[in-house]
């Protein structure tokens, strides 16, 4: 049985405890220490994001150099990366010229993808009831119809109707109940996940 080093869990728990303690204890020392630890964490987060990007590059590098299944797309990706990285290092991200890279390439592509999503959702709405059966499916479709109508401007018109307006208004606020329940569940799950990390039950850092 391989004995795991207790150093990493100890550091994790210690740092987390100090940061969490700062939420409830307004002591200056605790606050300063907490700020310092969080500062280091933010720096590490940046480095972690950079490691992720470098890993992406390495993977596609291997794909591009694979003699059997050489990927043309990986070559293009690496070329785009190198060019953008080089230009960005030269010009800096704040340079208006470099910002065109984002505005002219990234924004159109992503926005166009969102536009295609709209058409896809429209096509999926035709078979919505065919796929989703049962109470939840029916309620879902009815709710989607209702809110699509609300978002298309019917609510202000309906609100002017004496009783229907009230009901419409109530129905417009009805998702809050479900959303609140979902948010509470998310918060409780986050709390449990954090506690499991502090207790050492989960060690996602042992890669």
Partner 1 sequence: MQQDFLWTLIGFLLTLLVFSYLLGDHFLFRLVASLFVGVAAGYAAVLLIYQVILPRLIYPFGEGGALAILRAIVPLVLGLLMLTKLFPRFSRLGNLSMGYLVGVGAAVLIGGAVIGTLSGQLRASAAGFDLHRAALAGRSPVGALVEAVIFLFGTISALLYFQFSVRSKNNPQAARPPLLEAIASIGKVFIAVTLGAIFAGVFAAALAALIDRLDFITEFIFMLVF
Partner 2 sequence: MDEIRCPMCGKPNPVTAEACQHCGAQIKPLGGSFSSPSSEPPLPDWLNEEHAGGQLPENAAGQEGEDSVPDWLTRIRQREQEERSMNELEEDVFQHTDAEETPAWLSDLRGPDELMSEDQGDESQDNWLARLRSSKGITPPEPAPEPDTSAKNTPPESQEASDDDWMEALKAFQAPDEGSWQEDAEEEPIEIPPQEDVQDASFPVQHEENEFSDWLRSLEAQAGFQPPADTPQSGAPAFLGNLEFDGDALHTLDSESGLPEGEIPPWVTAAAGEDDRSAPVEHLKKEEPPDWLAVFAQAEAGDAPVEPTPMGDPPDWVRAFESEKPREEVDGTADELPNWLITGIGAESEAPSPGEDPPKTPGWTMKLGDLSAAGDEVEGSAAQTEPVEESSPDWFAQLPAEAPVPEAEESQVQIPPAAELPSPEKDAREPIGEMDLSLDVLLPDETQPAEMPFAPFQIGEISPPLPENALPFIQQDLPESAVPSSQPEKSVEEDKTDDLAPATLPGWLEAMRPVESLVDSQSQLVDEEQIEISGPLAGLPGVLPSEDLENQYRKPPVYSARLKATERQRAHAVILEGLLRTASTPQTVQKENLEAPRMLIRLGLAAILIFAILYPLLLGAPTNATPGLGSTTELLTFSNQIEALHPGQTVLAAVDYDAGFSGEMRFAAKGVIQRLIQKRLRLVFVSTVMAGPVLAEDLYRRASSELLAAGGLAAAPMPEDKVNLGYLPGGLSSLQELVLKPQQAARSGFALPGEADSPWESMALQGIQHLNDFAAVIVFTDSVDTGRAWIEQTGTQLDNTPLLMVTSAQAGPMLQPYASTGQVDGLLSGLMAGMAYERLAKMPGNAAAYWNAYRYGMYVMVAFLLSGAILRAIVRLLSQRKKLS
Report, in Å, the least distance between residue 83 CB and partner 2: 17
Report, in Å, the least distance between residue 67 CB and partner 1: 20
* Partner from partner 1, partner 2, none binding residue 51, C-beta < 5-8 Å depending on class: partner 1
Based on the shown chain and the rule CB under 8 A, indicate whether residue 14 belongs to the binding site for partner 2: no
DSSP per-residue letters across the chain? -PPPPSHHHHHHHHHHHHHHHHHH---HHHHHHHHHHHHHHHHHHHHHHHHHHHHHHHHHHHHHH-SSS--HHHHHHHHHHHHHHHHHHHH-TT-HHHHHIIIIIIHHHHHHHHHHHHHHHHHHHHTHHHH--SHHHHHHHHHHHHHHHIIIIIHHHHHTSHHHHHHHHHHHHTHHHHHHHHHHHHHHHHHHHHHHHHTTS--TT--
Residues within window 23-52 making contact with partner 1, judged by CB under 8 A: 23, 36-51
Which of 5-13, 54-62, 80-88, 93-101 is the region at the interface with partner 2 (rule: CB under 8 A)?
Answer: 93-101
Report, in Å, the least distance between residue 62 CB and partner 1: 13
| Nearer CB in complex with partner 2: 65/120 | 120
| Nearer CB in complex with partner 1: 159/198 | 198
Site residues (vs partner 2, CB under 8 A): 31, 34-35, 38-39, 41-43, 45-46, 49, 92-95, 99, 102-103, 106-107, 109-111, 113-115, 118-123, 125-130, 141, 144-145, 147-149, 151-157, 159, 173, 175-176, 179-180, 182-183
């Amino acid at each position: 049985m391989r004995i795991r080093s207790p150093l990493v869990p100890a550091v994790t728990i210690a740092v987390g405890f100090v940061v969490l303690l700062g939420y409830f204890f307004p002591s200056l020392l605790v606050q300063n220490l907490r700020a310092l630890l969080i500062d280091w964490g933010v720096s590490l987060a940046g480095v972690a994001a950079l490691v992720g990007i470098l890993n992406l590059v390495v993977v596609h590098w291997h794909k591009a150099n694979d003699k059997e299944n050489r990927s043309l797309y990986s070559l293009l990706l690496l070329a785009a990366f190198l060019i953008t990285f080089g230009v960005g290092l030269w010009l800096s991200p704040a340079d208006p010229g470099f910002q065109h890279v984002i505005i002219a390439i990234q924004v159109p592509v992503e926005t166009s993808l969102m536009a295609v999503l709209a058409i896809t959702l429209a096509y999926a709405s035709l078979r919505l009831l065919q796929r989703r059966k049962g109470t939840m499916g029916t309620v879902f479709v009815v709710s989607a119809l209702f809110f699509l109508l609300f978002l298309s401007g019917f609510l202000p018109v309906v609100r002017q109707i004496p009783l229907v307006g009230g009901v419409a208004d109530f129905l417009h606020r009805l998702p809050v109940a479900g959303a609140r329940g979902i948010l509470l569940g998310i918060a409780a799950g986050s709390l449990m996940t954090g506690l499991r990390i502090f207790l050492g039950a989960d060690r996602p850092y042992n890669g």
